[in-house]
Structure 1
Amino acid sequence: MGLYDIPGLANWAIMLLILFALMGLNELGRRTKWGTLALFLILPLLLTIFVWPTTAAPGNEYGTGTWFNWVKTYSALAGVLGFFAIRFVPGLSKKSFARLFPPLILALNILEAVIRDFQIYSFRLWDGAYIDHLWVMSGPWNIMNGIAGLLNILTISGWAGIVLSKDKSRDMIWPDMIWPWIIAYDLWNFAYTYNAIADHSFYCGLTLLLSCTIPAFLIKKGAWLQHRASTLALWIMFVMTVPSFADRIAPVPTTHNPKVFFTLSLIALIANAALFIYQLRKIIRNKLNPLHSEIYSDTPSYRAALADTASV
């Protein structure tokens, strides 16, 4: 019951190249103002005018011209630039409305994918077929994973505690976004990419998720959402620019096995349901307000995010 037709060494090499490129460009944007503005403002403006009308035209043979790809591209870019403003516009990070932006843009991105999962189920493609030039298979996994995504939205917590790091990069630290939430998100998102863009998920699922999760655990703790927004925006811009990459240049197709679809979505649903129950118990036991309180301030992960990086 394999996930993919076994990739060759060339595919693994390309995967690692993409992984390190995403992580490297993320670091460039994170550590320098000019890097963020060049990568996430100037470059996409040029691509929007001169490249994407051709490479991501509606109905093109690679499926990049769908509403979802265009919305996802600009919502990811909006996230990056919004976080940049929170980090560098004086006093903005202390404003309540600014602290609401990260959870809202995150919830919107998850909701976009949830809607797509439910939409694929509505296609009733029980044996699989190509829609917008992308192979999909409808099944109960779409409903299961859609519910997992909604639970993931409901467990977003502690945005009132977002702070900035002391160092030059002024990273947006969200200490309440601890590792159980990140893992639950990763499981849901990987299942989503497997459901919605199955034959692209080796790169846009596995590789892309690693590119933000590794930095969140090993490079800059507490800044997962900042890593995620940047790497997601970089990847989507690449796909919109080189749409043939996952289909012709370096394809890694899935096995199209319904048991795999079901298993991945079941794991994602269990993980997010467990997180929801765990968080609900903490809220009730500690008499917390989930709209204002930080849920995990008593955990080592929370303290590690704040240990030597964040200032109020």
Structure 2
Amino acid sequence: MGILYEGANFNIVAIWFFILFALMAFNEFGRSSKWGGIVLFLIVPIILTIFVWPTTAAPGNEYGTGNWFNWVKTYSALAGCLGFMAIRYIPSLAKKKWALCFPAFILAFNILEAAIRDFQCFGYGAWNGAYIDNLWVISGPWNIMNGIAGLLNIILICGWFGIFVSKDKTKDMIWPDMIWIYVLAYDLWNFAYTYNCIADHSVYCGLALLLSCTIPTFFIKKGAWLQHRAQTLALWIMFVMTVPTFADRIAPVPTTHNPTAFFIVSLLALIANVVAAVYQINIIMKRKLNPLKNEVYVNTKAYKKVIEENKSLKDEVHVNINI
């Protein structure tokens, strides 16, 4: 028995890696081809909405996929994917300030959904653990801690007016201010959310899913973290809504149900987001920036690397103007 999860056999480990690489592969298909993205994030969801999900994700079903959160998360993730595709493939949109607000809005909305869910799980009062909506949850201070971490993560969102479309053939949506500091703080918060609220599914929807967008961010396409995140999230939740038995019956990896593990995971997430917030506020105050208008991390190596890899020499080095 492990600290976070019960032991898994070779077959389960193999399935976990298959899920990880499948998400990365479909993400690459969706981002490398406009038609690939349209098929994955528009045509397939329409078919599933009409013919599959009313059965597999019916309210109150035995698999826990019929709750409000799953449905809202599915369509908000898909809205992000389609909105980002519009920015990528409609040249005039990437030049509109109102359009560049959309990525920040959809990211904040998705985080807020999860923070509300953490607070809701605390409100259940399941102090010794219980099955609620056919999902095992245990209420505790970790829900409050991680809910606060999520709200801080929303505050950390910055630099959306610096978003641009890469000059290569994939036309990725690049957000230079989303450097590793934010990605790390988000990953720790989101993993804690999945551990708290979807505990016995979190080895997939937490660990594997987060790695499937974080690995491409650092090793395949720097600066496109939110695009990677939206697409892999949409892919995963569409799969879960379609095959709700997967995490519970086909390849289960339950948590240890140990309150100490829940506390430590959420504490780490809260600390990471507090540290990131303090660091960001310090930069804002020193440089006298307006975080609603200016990019914050333009002087960092991570920011400059993203610009170097995604803009041609004819483009401006960065956009950091008062709007």
Query: What band does the TM-score fall into relative to the shorter chain?
Result: over 0.9
In the TM superposition, what are the counterparts of 1:1-312 in structure 2 within 5 Å?
A: 2-310=3-311, 312=315
Do the aligned residues in 2 keep the contact of 1:102 with 1:159 (CA within 8 Å)? yes
Q: Distance in 2 between matches of 1:130 and 1:305?
A: 45
How far the C-alpha of 1:297 sits from its partner, in A, is 0.3
State the percentage of identical aligned residues.
Answer: 68
Amino acid at match of 2:34: K
Match of 1:143, as an amino acid? I
Q: Is the 8 A contact 1:173 1:310 kept in 2?
A: no
Distance 1:132 1:243 in 2: 13
- Structure 2 Cα separation of the partners of residues 11 and 288 of structure 1: 49
Deviation at 1:309, TM superposition (A): 1.3
- Return the offset for 1:8: 1.2
Deviation by residue 1:161-180 (Cα, 9 ceiling, x = unmatched):
00110011110000000001
Contact 1:75 1:109 in 2 (8 A): yes
Query: Counterpart of 1:15 in structure 2: which amino acid?
Result: W
Question: Any idea what SS the aligned residue of 1:12 has?
Answer: helix
Amino acid of the structure 1 residue aligned with 2:148: I
Q: Which amino acid aligns with 2:163?
A: I
**Secondary structure of 2:253's match?**
coil
Q: Secondary structure at the match of 1:130?
A: strand
Query: Counterparts of 1:9 and 1:278 in 2: how far apart (Å)?
Result: 42
- Aligned counterparts of 1:90 and 1:258: Cα–Cα separation in 2: 50
Query: CA separation in 1, counterparts of 2:273 and 2:11?
Result: 34
Structure 2: distance between partners of 1:138 and 1:190 = 16
Deviations 1:243-292 (A, max 9, x none): 00000000000000000000000000000000000000100011000001
7-16 or 133-142, which moves further after superposition? 7-16
1:126-176 Cα shifts (integer Å, max 9, x gaps): 000001000000000000000000000000010010011001111000000
> CA RMSD for the aligned pairs?
0.7
Distance in 1 between residues matched to 2:43 and 2:174, nearest whole Å: 26
Asked if the contact 1:211/1:231 (under 8 Å) is kept, the reply is yes
Q: Secondary structure at the match of 2:49?
A: helix
AA of the residue aligned to 2:64: G
Could you state the TM-score of these two structures normalised by the residue count of structure 2? Answer: 0.96
Q: Which amino acid aligns with 1:261?
A: F
State the shift of 1:90 in Å. Answer: 2.4
Unaligned runs of 5+ in 2: 316-323
- For 2:239 and 2:260, locate their aligned partners in 1 and report how far apart those are by CA, in whole Å: 31
What amino acid is the match of 2:275?
A
**Aligned partner of 2:262: which letter?**
F
Between the aligned partners of 1:262 and 1:308, the Cα distance in structure 2 is 40
**Residue-by-residue CA offset, 1:181-204 (whole Å, 9 max, x unaligned):** 100000000000000000000000
How many Å apart are 1:12 and its aligned residue? 1.0
- Aligned-partner Cα distance in 2 for 1:104–1:32: 25
Give 3-state SS (helix, strand or coil) of 2:309's partner: coil
Q: Name the CA distance, whole Å, in 1 between partners of 2:308 and 2:132.
A: 48
Runs (4+) of structure 1 exceeding 4 A deviation are none
2-structure distance, mates of 1:121, 1:308: 44
